[in-house]
Structure 1
Amino acid sequence: MWDAWDLAVDQCLTQLPELNAPVQPGAAPYEYKHSTFFEEQLSAFESWLEFRSTDLDKPPEQLPVVLQVLLSHVHRVRALVLLSRYLDLGPRAVNLALSIGIFPYVLKLLQSPAQELKPVLVFIWARIMSVDAANVRQELIRDNSFAYFIHILIPNTPDEIGIGTINMSEHRAMCAFIIALFCRGFKLGQQKCMSSDIINACLTNMIDPENPLLRQWSCLCLSQLWDLNVDGKWHAVKGNVFDELCELLQDPIPEVRTSCIIALTTFLGVGDSKEVPEELREQEIKLAVNMLALSTDVSSLVRREVVVFFSRFVKQYLNCFLVSAYINLQEEAESLDVRVSPAIHGKSPAEGTVFSNSWKLLVSLSADPFPEVAEYAQIVVDYVLESLHETVLKTYVETIEQSVIENTNSSSQPQVTPAHRSDDRSQLSRTLTSSPAAESRFATTIKRSVSFAASLRQYAWGDNSTTTQYPYTSYTQNSVSSIPYGTDKKPPTARYKSKKEEDRKLPLASGFFDWATEYFQEPQMRHSDIDEPGSERYIERLWRKNRNEKIMGETQLQKDLSLQGSWHSLFRGFNNVTQPTRLIFAQFEPHLAVVDDRDGVTVWDWSKNKKLNRFCNSNPVNTKITEAKFLNEDDTPLLLTGSSEGIVRIYKRYESNESIELTCAWRALTDLLPAQKNSGLIADWQQSRGNLLVGGDVRVIRVWDAPRELCVNDIPARSGSPVTSLTSDQVAGNIIIAGFGDGAVRVYDRRLNQYSSMVKSWKTHQSWVLNARMQRGGARELVTGSVDGTVCLWDIRLDKPIDHYQAHVNGMSAVDVHEHAPIIATGASNVNLWSTLGTSVSSIKTSGSYMLGPTRTSHVSDLSFHPHRMLLAVNNKFDAHIGIFKCDSHY
């Protein structure tokens, strides 16, 4: 650096003699040659950004020169662009730039009217605020520098604010982010911004359909404007802000819905004032009513923020919740006490109020399938129950508690219904007293119901259950073991740690704002690693793509082999320990997922005959896993499970015991209908559309949009029987086929109105439909099979099956069709193989052939083809062993 400076000075000094020399007659005066030092340093800095940008131990030596160049009109724009690229490297780069004195330069530039500087200055300030907002807010007050960003945030034409064809919405989102951090916990900043038209600006930006980031930060900006600011709340009430905010609760982007909830949450409460004005009280109750509908949102982010909202609502209206909890407690005692006369079961005066409904919602969410949401809700429930003990009703509450506990403990485990569902609870580290004994009780694992009685037992007694690892209990002569619910490892969720005792106070704190801020600390000017050629993730994705194509190319040639080869070759066999009920092959990974008859999921590497992982699905006692699917198999696969209480859970890195994570869990089905025989939750995944079709013991087929985390359609099933199987067209995804418990098979077209979407109804089967499967390849044959042994082949355009035959005389327990090859497998006491034309191909006797137990007559529990390879996994009832048969080219 100093050598370059010496050279530049020398070049300037060597021109002095000629500059001072007299001009000869007729000769042109000497023209001074400007130094290229600053241009060269900018070029050197650009090269550093290109090739050494990972070296952030110290600032690059050209950075101080770049700051000096900011004072020059000639090189200012280029210097700002390079500086923005440097700050885009992350918080460490921002701190290094601040440490050498960048702040006074970029602060002074906010006074510049130059239009071309606005986009890059907004970007630079967004990076600075994301790292050091608390220390720079006071400086923005001086000379009203913050107004620079408000002027851009207020919607105008691009020409008026000088950004032109640059992405206007993105820069407004950055301005909303800057203003949000400027106002966060800073009353003077809130007061300064309220004097402008910023609320209307945010409301206008909230309806921008193109940029969810702008909608998100417009909501978060509003949340910080009126947080603990009474004047801001009155501005919001007078401006009718909340009608538009409540409409945004249905936004297709979960982060926007979450941000909207935060804006409504910060409106609750009036700071230090103990009396809530009537007008604000009415508005807060309206907000609570709107929030009730979000309790079934797919996104755990949304559900968690709903609980945070109600934690403030409970704190604000605690007396109303104490009444609701007490009345609910009485109702619970009456429902459990058989000695109580039914005549006293009248409707409670609190029934149907927003406080009663909110209390029931919180009790329900305390058993949410996502651990973080459940813990948040449990903290709020515990707070209300503890407060109830501090009222004049304490004696009555303790009497009712004792009655509830005695009746609950004396009764047997209740059957799971929509009103009362059990749930395995994870670690709870709540301490209501300071005694070590209480700490020990509350830190153990509990099993409890969604009912109020279970929440009461958790409060009154803590958990007196044990975490002892129960021994496996063998209940058949084929060595099938019964493992108690909740025994295996429960997959954790990302970024979540149980709250410390000092944080378990109301109102609960939301961490979403800080999480959302991290977006502006991440690089935005370069491709992500997965899209950057040469990066590890890019190479991994490319390798996976080539491997998948190779597998598909090799297996396409084996279609004829499925009908001409021998299926008698036992390729692999392993002991699952517990009774398998579902077998699912992954398309490209050598994985076989095995679901047992309780809550266990085991993942096997069938190519190595090796168990990779076993984990607990956390479905409640007396429920079971009824569905399992692999998702996103073209890239990094995910494993989905559905259980009979209507819960869907999705896991990533499911094959690793150390790194498995629960990424998503929600209640996909509600209002489950009781029946003599239940199908549980049945699902089909449409990879092309990112849609999950869900049916079961309900009267609808529900369509969930995975990217948007929303229910997009409820298709009436138009049947009183449960849905037992779902399949769909995997190309366009418009045609849905469902099998039912009464033997009916119905076809639905999503392009039609939901009430007229059923286009076919076939009733050839006379009993429970075991499986309905539309092939992905071939001629897209639709195959259905029922318990009575009948198999039908369909053309969905016709009113009758193309062919049907009796696969088994004495009933059938399983049926599957290969996704690409023309082969069907049916299972009873043995496995029969058929072509899709209805001709018999082969028969495999499974009992005693690969089971390690004694030879006995046993029906097949489940069978499953590999999606591409000529492999068939089979398991028998009352047997933990699984066999994989391979089709060979010779007998």
Structure 2
Amino acid sequence: MASNENELIIEEECVDWTVPLAFMKKRHTESIEGANSITQTWRMKERMKTVSVALVLCLNVGVDPPDIVKTQPCARLECWIDPLSMSPQKALETIGANLQKQYERWQPRARYKQSLDPTAEEVKKLCTSLRRNAKEERVLFHYNGHGVPKPTSNGEIWVFNKTYTQYIPLSVYDLQTWMGAPSIYVYDCSNAGIVVDSFKQFAEQHEREYEQMVAQNRNPVPPPSFKNCIQLAACADNQILPMNPDLPADIFTSCLTTPIKIALRWFVMQNTSKLVPKISMDLIDKIPGQLNDRRTMLGELNWIFTAITDTIAWNTLPRDLFQKLFRQDLLVASLFRNFLLAERIMRSYDCTPVSSPKLPPTYQHPMWQAWDLALDLCLSQLPAILESEDQFVHSPFFEEQLTAFQVWLNLGSELRNPPEQLPIVLQVLLSQVHRLRALELLGRFLDLGPWAVNLALSVGIFPYVLKLLQSSARELRPLLVFIWAKILAVDSTCQADLVRDNGHKYFLSVLQDPCIQGEHRTLAAFVLACIVHNHPLGQEAAMQGSLVSICLEQLGDSNPLLRQWLAVCLGRLWTNFEKARWCGVRDIAHEKLYTLLQDSVPEVRASAVYALGTFISSVTERSEHANNIDHSIAMTLINTVSNDMSPLVRKELIVALQWMVLLFENSFLSVALQEEGTRSRDSLGSQVLMLPGEASMSPMMGMRRIASRDRLKMLAPGTLISVDGSVAPAAMAASDILHSNVDRIKRVSSSSSICSLGHSTLSSLPALAYGSIYMKLWHGLTAMDTDPHPGVSHMSHTVTNYIRDQVKDATGAKDLGEAKLSSSLSLPPSPSSRPLFLAGESPPTTGSNMELHRLTTSRSAHITSRTRKMVPNTISEESDETAGTRKPLVSTQFVEWSCKYFAQSVMKNQNGSDSESNLHCEREWRYFWNRHVRVDSKEEQRKMTTGRLEHQIFNSRSPSPPSVILFHPYDPHFAVACKDSFGIWDWYSGTKMSYCSNRASKGSRITSLEFVNGHDMSLLLVASDDGSVRLWNNYSLVMGKEPLLVTAWQALSDVQHLGRSANGSGLLMSWEQNAQQLVVTGDARIIRIWDAESELKVVDIPTGADNCVTSISTDLSESNLLVAGCGDGSIRLFDRRLPPHEARIMTWREHASWVVGVHLRFPTTGARRVISGCVGGDVRFFDIRRNASVSTCQTAQGMTAMAVHKEADAFACGSINQFISAYNMEGNLINTIKYHEGFMGPRIGPVRCLAFHPHRVCLAAGSIDNSISVYSIDPKR
């Protein structure tokens, strides 16, 4: 026994985790808006390169400057050459040549000019020449002053006179003037820091002088911006260069131009870092390999050095400074990477290199230890390699750094510091050995969000991943499309780079490769959609790459996200690009997209509507062929998705149909004018005179009878309507046309706008048959004006009011209009005096309609951007303004919102919910509470066999008589419907939590309530008798937040008019949480089932009854049965698994009056039973296997409400005679409630609604006197 109870408890604990959640997708929980655009900071505003280099060497070999006393021995090497080993002149020339070679390694394409031991005039000539040739590019000035005195405090460096007998000072002010900007200066001399300070002072002096000249109105040429010049100095002011004989004399230049060589020498000289003792200076020069070959030992060291210095800079410098110094100019980036090494080495000799802009200290950065380790591991192999030619073992540096990056990814977040290894990952992309792993880790990093993408772009990832698109390696394809999807989701401007480098071809090949998984083809489709978005070159390139046919071939793919983005990709390709549209026409693309209009995923349906909308709007030259295609698309859209359950789809429908209104404006104006004319006739009390043999029918009268877009009716196919709205038989109309003067009829494209025509032709608009395409589209749009979702109705109003406002302006002056209307209604219309036109025919352009003259006048000021022209003779000549040049009336951000999916973490979404998140913990606690309620309720249900349901534990009053009452399954509150409002009361504390309007149509009333996701974060489903359903979140105003509309739709479009009265049942609902389906019925002849997952209508089951359905009970998740009680007293049982017209499997006709309640009950033993009660007071029990009731219970006459407990042995009946009776399932009376509790408790009012708690034995009752009460078997409740 104990084991059974434990099993029950375990089962109770697990049950909630297996129950699916409805209406919790992102389209329900967040606003349909695009991501906030992040200001692009990674892309350099201007690329720059150093095109000219001035190498100025003041060595005066053999003569030491007078102000420095050198030690003996001292540092002598200049550019790794001992100047004393050869003649002074040859040494000078050799050093100059070597210096040029050292620079050429970093910038081989620059123009180099040497100036050896120059005079001031030679320096001037050199600098001005290089600046003149460089134009706006950067010039480098390298100054070696080892053979001249130190720079002076006045800002002067030294050169020579022509005879080399004197040192001549050269002012930095003059040097600035000759060099101009942008420039970079390298000072390799003692006391170099003072030059940097003087440079800044002189730059300010230049600016002051310019300002003075401007003040004197001398209009000088603005000076270059010297403050942006870059300076690198070997040491600070008052410092002299190291004289250690083991070091080169130009150690600063060596660090800047030959960093690996000097780094190795310095490393060997450091005893503290020397782990390999037998390495000499001579061995260092024998390290095998080439610096530019990463596969060799020397090349790998250089590669590691580049990665480390890049990493130090990226982790130390501000982002904008890093971009300027390390990403703008290749030579500048190399010099600054090497400058970091110079700082480390020279600080060990009490020299502090100086830069402008100033860099933070980096000589103690932890990454230098990784560099030392790499050198140790390299040098430890060197003796063996040189002696026995052993194969060199590659450094584990990059593998270890990738591992460190992976560790960060496992624990990283936006709140932590960025990973230090990001620049190293960039370098690893160059290696085929580590590339796959690096791309995988990089993809994981980018998946963390837009902030990660921006970091990767700022570090310089873009050119690397762009170049990798040239790779043919198939294993890289999934990783590269993922990375590019992440980049484009954050920064769509990269589209231009892709098209320029033919990168789009890579994604076209991925998209059409059937061997690649659907999710990766989805990423490729998204990338291509970004490439063609508002980018004509991208559209042209994609179309040439057969993007249309590639997308169309895969529309039937099983991956819904791929289907969605294929449609979006096509839609963006067609936008304002007519060539692609006609390419689609040849492939009947629009018809192939029709299949997606009934897709099981709302986002796919919305994407298909979006694509068809841009298909319509893309035509710039209207033709009869184009018009016919657009008509077909529009009618397919209005017939297929106007009743879609998802507002996402319906909004896209309005956006698509607006183009029909804008393109065929005249035709819609005609429909609106007829509508307005009919209203005028109705207001005058006039009757439309009919021709013999025709029924009296006005199109606008018919429109007013139409309750919704489901019930639009057409006139007989041959019926025609003239401009004034009267009706004529088709035969007479045809005769009229034949006998009219055809020559005076000019054909006008339906896309013509009125004000684009000349005044001489503006006497009439097309007369449209009631069943015409424009009439149907107009009816569909106006029906959406009353859509239950406010966003949809607002958009629809915007479109329809665009037409109505013009008509209203035109019909404002009533004097002429009424006179014309009176004359037109005085006599029957003459067939021979007014030509009639079938739908699709061209309208006449002559007549005397004064209202249209006023319309023309009013619209001439309304839209001034259009050009006027006379009507062409044929449709093909028509060249009116098109949709592509017009601004849309309405728009959505559905596609932009869809793009956010790729900007957010995709991997996290795939891995499911985070078990440590707050949401998961809240859910865990909530499910524990639910289990407690269920277990606790079992005890109450056992008491029901001997207890009485009479203890009033709650009593309050509602603002108006309650019509529906519903317990929440777990929380201690219930919902009450009163007219068009609903309230929430806490029956445990006795307080009213909220009272809100349902915001349905005027005069409607709430007729049904359901809790959705009652076991979790609950939503309240509210049904009104106008056929609409609204789903509310935060219905109880938790934490002061207003109720939020999750979704709304027209659940039943053909609710009978009787339902809007107090005598109708309105709209009834039954929500199936496990099946994720909503069953609706009521004042209709059908039972409709909606699927919440797909947001589609599943089936319409005919009730077979002539009366309304008054009560319904369902069990779709297990038995697929549903039972309905009807107004004629019949009980009808349906099996969902059968075809709709065969679904009714049983009908019981034992009740003689309106069925108040019916319940499908599943006892633990025995067959399923149906319990029903009617107004007459009889309650019947049916075995679903039998044709007649198995037992009957007679209650009092005048039953108004009935409730059956789902689990306990009890049901209750409420009466108009002011009492409630509780019975057990055998029909035995348990107790009767007539009075409220308390001293001299008053009599309860006539009962209007009853409801049992789904688990607890609690009964809620609402009375006509506005009283709401809760009764329990347990007085302690």
- Aligned: 1:565 with 2:913: no
Q: CA deviation at 1:582?
A: 1.0
Match of 2:982 in 1: 601
One-letter identity of the residue aligned with 1:42: L
Number of residue pairs matched by the alignment: 770
Q: CA deviation at 1:815?
A: 0.8
Aligned CA RMSD, in angstroms, stands at 2.7
Alignment partner of 2:617: what SS? coil
Pairs within 5 Å for 1:278-293: 278-293=624-639
Alignment partner of 1:751: what SS? coil
Pairs within 5 Å for 1:226-625: 226-270=574-618, 273=620, 275-293=621-639, 294-335=641-682, 337-340=684-687, 343=690, 345-346=697-698, 348=721, 349-389=768-808, 395=813, 506-527=888-909, 531-596=913-978, 598-625=979-1006
One-letter identity of the residue aligned with 1:662: L
Match of 1:671 in 2: 1054
How far apart in 1 are the matches of 2:481 and 2:380?
46
Alignment partner of 2:1222: what SS? strand
Taking every aligned residue pair, what percent have the same amino acid on both sides?
Answer: 35
Cα distance change on mapping 1:39 and 1:529 into 2, 3 Å = closer
Alignment partner of 1:328: what SS? helix
Match of 1:632 in 2: 1013
Q: CA deviation at 1:592?
A: 0.4
The answer to which of 322-331 and 371-380 deviates more is 322-331
Match of 2:395 in 1: 35
How far apart in 2 are the matches of 1:628 and 1:170?
40
- Aligned: 1:122 with 2:485: no
Q: CA deviation at 1:764?
A: 0.8
Alignment partner of 2:936: what SS? helix
Pairs within 5 Å for 1:180-219: 180-208=529-557, 210-219=558-567
- Aligned: 1:96 with 2:455: yes
Q: CA deviation at 1:19?
A: 2.1
- Aligned: 1:692 with 2:1073: no
Q: Deviations over 1:379-401 (max 9, x none)?
A: 1111112233565x664699579
Contact 2:1234–2:1244 under 8 Å retained in 1: no
- Aligned: 1:811 with 2:1198: yes
Contact 1:681–1:694 under 8 Å retained in 2: yes
Match of 2:1137 in 1: 751
Alignment partner of 1:296: what SS? coil
Q: Deviations over 1:582-602 (max 9, x none)?
A: 110011111200101x21100
How far apart in 1 are the matches of 2:511 and 2:372?
45
Instruction: Give TM-score, length-normalised by structure 2.
Output: 0.58
How far apart in 1 are the matches of 2:500 and 2:1219?
84
Match of 1:425 in 2: none
Q: CA deviation at 1:263?
A: 0.5
Contact 2:574–2:618 under 8 Å retained in 1: no
Match of 1:79 in 2: 438
Cα distance change on mapping 1:564 and 1:742 into 2, 3 Å = same
How far apart in 2 are the matches of 1:154 and 1:512?
26
Contact 2:688–2:698 under 8 Å retained in 1: no
Match of 1:9 in 2: 372
Q: CA deviation at 1:231?
A: 0.6
How far apart in 2 are the matches of 1:153 and 1:890?
66
- Aligned: 1:137 with 2:495: yes
Alignment partner of 2:579: what SS? helix
- Structure 2 residue corresponding to 1:19, chosen from 371, 382, 386: 382
Contact 1:155–1:204 under 8 Å retained in 2: no
One-letter identity of the residue aligned with 1:286: S
Alignment partner of 1:791: what SS? strand
Q: CA deviation at 1:781?
A: 3.6
- Structure 2 residue corresponding to 1:738, chosen from 1121, 1124, 1128: 1124
Q: CA deviation at 1:59?
A: 3.4
Alignment partner of 1:802: what SS? strand
- Aligned: 1:68 with 2:427: yes
Alignment partner of 2:906: what SS? coil
Q: CA deviation at 1:857?
A: 7.0
- Aligned: 1:842 with 2:1231: yes
Alignment partner of 1:331: what SS? helix
How far apart in 1 are the matches of 2:616 and 2:596?
18
Contact 2:1124–2:1132 under 8 Å retained in 1: yes
Q: CA deviation at 1:91?
A: 0.9
How far apart in 1 are the matches of 2:896 and 2:1184?
52
Q: Deviations over 1:141-187 (max 9, x none)?
A: 2331110000011143x2xxxx5xxxx11111111110011001111
How far apart in 1 are the matches of 2:1160 and 2:667?
54
One-letter identity of the residue aligned with 1:582: V
- Aligned: 1:654 with 2:1035: yes
Q: Deviations over 1:833-875 (max 9, x none)?
A: 11011111111113x54799x9457321112111111111122
How far apart in 2 are the matches of 1:295 and 1:250?
12
How far apart in 1 are the matches of 2:1152 and 2:1032?
37
How far apart in 2 are the matches of 1:16 and 1:699?
90
Alignment partner of 2:1087: what SS? strand
Instruction: Give TM-score, length-normalised by structure 1.
Output: 0.82
How far apart in 2 are the matches of 1:402 and 1:730?
61
One-letter identity of the residue aligned with 1:822: D
Cα distance change on mapping 1:642 and 1:850 into 2, 3 Å = farther
Match of 1:113 in 2: 472
Contact 1:778–1:820 under 8 Å retained in 2: no
How far apart in 1 are the matches of 2:816 and 2:1174?
54
Q: Deviations over 1:745-794 (max 9, x none)?
A: 00011111211111110011100001111236645542111111111111
Cα distance change on mapping 1:363 and 1:77 into 2, 3 Å = same
In the alignment, structure 2 segments of 5+ residues that lack a partner are 1-311, 313-364, 691-695, 700-720, 722-767, 822-857, 859-885
Match of 1:147 in 2: 505
Q: Deviations over 1:655-686 (max 9, x none)?
A: 12514211111111122234483111011111
Contact 1:577–1:881 under 8 Å retained in 2: no
How far apart in 1 are the matches of 2:1071 and 2:445?
43
Contact 2:671–2:775 under 8 Å retained in 1: yes
Cα distance change on mapping 1:851 and 1:889 into 2, 3 Å = closer
- Structure 2 residue corresponding to 1:48, chosen from 395, 408, 417: 408
One-letter identity of the residue aligned with 1:111: Q
How far apart in 2 are the matches of 1:633 and 1:609?
21
- Structure 1 residue corresponding to 2:1252, chosen from 848, 865, 870: 865
How far apart in 2 are the matches of 1:685 and 1:867?
13
Cα distance change on mapping 1:360 and 1:731 into 2, 3 Å = closer
Contact 2:377–2:395 under 8 Å retained in 1: no
One-letter identity of the residue aligned with 1:805: C
Q: Deviations over 1:448-482 (max 9, x none)?
A: xxxxxxxxxxx9xxxxxxxxxxxxxxxxxxxxxxx
How far apart in 1 are the matches of 2:681 and 2:992?
49
How far apart in 2 are the matches of 1:672 and 1:364?
15
Match of 2:1180 in 1: 792
Contact 2:1253–2:1259 under 8 Å retained in 1: yes
Contact 2:571–2:612 under 8 Å retained in 1: yes
Cα distance change on mapping 1:269 and 1:857 into 2, 3 Å = closer
Cα distance change on mapping 1:739 and 1:402 into 2, 3 Å = farther
Largest Rg, 1 or 2: 2
How far apart in 2 are the matches of 1:726 and 1:830?
24
Contact 2:1030–2:1049 under 8 Å retained in 1: yes
How far apart in 1 are the matches of 2:461 and 2:816?
64
